[in-house]
Chains A and B, each alone.
Chain A
Amino acid sequence: MELDRQAELNALRPDLLRFARLQLRDAAAAEDAVQETLLAALTGSHRFESRSSYKTWLISILRNKIIDIIRGQSREIAATSLADDEAGDDLLAETLFDQRGHWQEAAKPGRWADPDASFEQQQFWAVFEACLDHLPERTARVFMMREVLGFETDEICKEAGISSSNCWVVLHRARLGLRTCLETKWFAGAGAESQR
């Protein structure tokens, strides 16, 4: 059976917009990317059996639009702005590690029970998005270019106008922040419990 594509588009539009905003951190650019995606989707003649396959297809179009926008902007994520992010990140590292660089007892990473089961829950993804959104802005942009949009590190350095070692530092901070947020807000708490 063919989906009612217009109805599905309306239903999925908020998801697409949230996705674009997270990547671009720019409401107007996000809106443009989603508009172009919807246009492309309406003129396409693919047939879809389910909402999830339709969503996957839409996100893949949107991702390409976002990548084009980022490449076109060549907006430099200037080193000075990244430095602004650093203060907060250093504070995080200080709460996690002692002076000798060992885990503080309370911060020692625990074992995450069954991540695959978490991936099947909408609630997990709401927490995941909130944690991404919680990262310092430019740190988040670099991280999402790498992990969500699939840029190679070299290209990110070029777009962001930073050295590779600086790039690795930023990515490390993003991962440290994101895993700490997920551990606190999901894996160590009620979220992961509810699936047992």
Chain B
Amino acid sequence: MLSCRQATELMSQEQDRSLTFPERVGLRLHVWICAGCANYRRQMGVLRAACRRFGSGGTP
């Protein structure tokens, strides 16, 4: 079973490379039972969206 610390590493890496099948399964299982990491995963998406917007000059 992944620890939250390991899960956050994979949640970062899934933004930069394709995870292996066992990594994907392990991560899916972990976020299914861990609300903190499920929130963290959504936050990774928010970070990416914020950076894209910042980098394209679309800030108010």
Chain A residues near B (Cβ < 8 Å): 52, 55-60, 63, 93, 97, 100-103, 108-112, 115, 119-122, 125, 128, 144, 146-150, 153, 164, 167-168, 171-172, 175-176, 178-179, 182-183
Residues on the A chain within 8 Å of B15, using CB: 171, 175
Residues on the A chain within 8 Å of B48, using CB: 147
* CB<8 Å pairs between A and B, sample of 14: A56-B58, A60-B56, A60-B57, A63-B55, A97-B3, A111-B42, A112-B46, A121-B60, A128-B54, A147-B47, A147-B52, A168-B13, A171-B12, A179-B40
Cα-based distance from A132 to B4 in the complex (angstroms): 24
Minimal beta-carbon separation of A1 from chain B (angstroms): 21
Mostly helix, strand, loop or mixed at chain B's interface? helix
Chain B residues near A (Cβ < 8 Å): 3-6, 8-9, 12-13, 15-17, 35-37, 39-40, 42-44, 46-60
- Knowing A108-B36, A172-B8, the reply to whether A147 touches B51 (Cβ < 8 A) is yes
Q: Who on chain B is nearest to A168 by CB?
A: B13
Residues on the A chain within 8 Å of B44, using CB: 175, 179
Residues on the A chain within 8 Å of B40, using CB: 109, 179
Cα-based distance from A113 to B44 in the complex (angstroms): 14
Select one of A93, A120, A171 contacting B16, CB under 8 A.
A171
B60 touches A101 (CB 8 A): no
B55 touches A172 (CB 8 A): no
Cα-based distance from A20 to B37 in the complex (angstroms): 33
Residues on the B chain within 8 Å of A144, using CB: 51
Cα-based distance from A93 to B53 in the complex (angstroms): 28
- Knowing A60-B57, A128-B50, A150-B55, the reply to whether A112 touches B8 (Cβ < 8 A) is no
A176 touches B60 (CB 8 A): no
- Knowing A103-B36, A175-B12, A176-B12, the reply to whether A93 touches B5 (Cβ < 8 A) is yes
Residues on the A chain within 8 Å of B49, using CB: 115, 119
A101 touches B16 (CB 8 A): no
Select one of A58, A97, A120, A179 contacting B43, CB under 8 A.
A179
B5 touches A109 (CB 8 A): no
Additional A-B contacts beyond A111-B39, A125-B60, A168-B13 (18; CB < 8 A): A59-B55, A97-B5, A101-B3, A101-B4, A101-B5, A103-B4, A109-B37, A109-B40, A111-B42, A119-B50, A122-B59, A128-B50, A150-B55, A168-B17, A171-B16, A175-B44, A176-B8, A178-B47
